[in-house]
Amino acid sequence: MSGTTLSMTPRQEETAMSSLLVADQVTKSFGDRQVLKSVSFDIAPGEIGVLIGKSGSGKSTLLRIFAGLEEPDDGNIFVRGKQVVEDGEYTDEWDGAISDVGMIFQHYTLWPHMTVFENLALAPRHVLRESKKSIMERAKQALAEVGMEHHLNSRSPQLSGGERQRVAIARALMMRPKVLLCDEITSALDPPVAAEVLGVITKLKEEEGIGAVLVTHDMAFASKAADKVLFFEEGVVAEEGPPSAIFGNPQTPGLKKFVDAVRF
């Protein structure tokens, strides 16, 4: 590991090495508002962590930091044992590790004027400089993984919301990520369609050992999908545990109130 961080105990260091994704005391302010005060957690291979918390609590900001779309102010981030952020600064490991992280957003971000294949080919062609033949093979594979193999030449306006999100997952898979960051990817979908999309994520976890961090306001979804639920409050992970404990036996006053308000 590059730049071992002095604040970590040997046990924390071991976790950083064996986990897919580790946040260690990550902070972020916008102006004078500190949105992330000190966020720490880890995601193991094949583990799905679900992030819940009030609107504005910083869930999207954290995912955006993991994906490199937002810079943290301080803290450490590890991706598969490589320290990609040290004391708030990107390290030399960042470029090599960032393709291990795939991000999928709430609103379908497929280009409508391009076919599904062209959308999938964009990053591998321009970022990885992969050959067309190999991209085609992998695009077929990725679409098969999400049950969309017959839509190689469709354009997104012809697809339903659930189909578009499945294509968005396939597009993320083209970069061969080890961990998927999903920001409210099912919030615009009907429950049965959301369940289908969730099925894709759990299949990837079971078959490929992919880990995921899912942000959702849907507590039924959270409780079905999660190996671990992380409750975000006041810029920290205030409570974490398996869904049964988080929803069935919340400990902190903030989580009790949250669970009462969203009881499903």
Q: Show contacts with ligand ATP in window 128-167 (CB under 6 A).
A: none
Helical segments of the chain, H only: 10-18, 59-66, 94-97, 116-126, 132-145, 161-173, 191-208, 219-225, 243-248, 253-262
Closer CB to ligand ATP, 53 or 124, in the complex: 53
Closer CB to ligand ATP, 28 or 151, in the complex: 28
Tell me the C-alpha distance between 105 and 103, whole Å: 7
List C-alpha distances in Å: 233 to 56, 64, 214. Answer: 10, 18, 16
List C-alpha distances in Å: 181 to 67, 87, 113, 215. Answer: 8, 22, 25, 8
Among 19, 61, 119, 165, binds ligand ATP (CB under 6 A): 61
Stretch that binds ligand ATP, among 54-62, 73-81, 119-127, 130-138 (CB under 6 A): 54-62
Q: Does 71 bind ligand ATP (CB under 6 A)?
A: no
Q: Does 178 bind ligand ATP (CB under 6 A)?
A: no
Owner of token pair 């989580």: 255
How far apart are CB 55 and Mg ion at their closest, in Å? Answer: 7
Q: Does 76 bind ligand ATP (CB under 6 A)?
A: no
Among 19, 57, 165, 216, binds ligand ATP (CB under 6 A): 57
Number of residues that bind ligand ATP (CB under 6 A): 10
Closer CB to Mg ion, 9 or 55, in the complex: 55
Q: Does 60 bind ligand ATP (CB under 6 A)?
A: yes
Q: What are phi and psi of 173, to 5 degrees?
A: -65, -25
The SS3 of residue 80 is coil
**For residue 19, what are the contacts with CB-CB under 8 A and spacing of at least 6?**
42, 43, 44, 45, 78, 80, 81
Site string for ligand ATP, 1-40 (x = CB under 6 A): -----------------------------x----x-----
Identify the DSSP state of 99: G
Closer CB to Mg ion, 54 or 203, in the complex: 54
Closer CB to Mg ion, 98 or 215, in the complex: 215
- Site residues, Mg ion (CB under 5 A): 60
Nearest alpha-carbon partner for 73 in 55, 58, 51: 58
Tell me the C-alpha distance between 206 and 12, whole Å: 26
Owner of token pair 């869904």: 243
Stretch that binds ligand ATP, among 58-66, 123-131, 168-176, 246-254 (CB under 6 A): 58-66
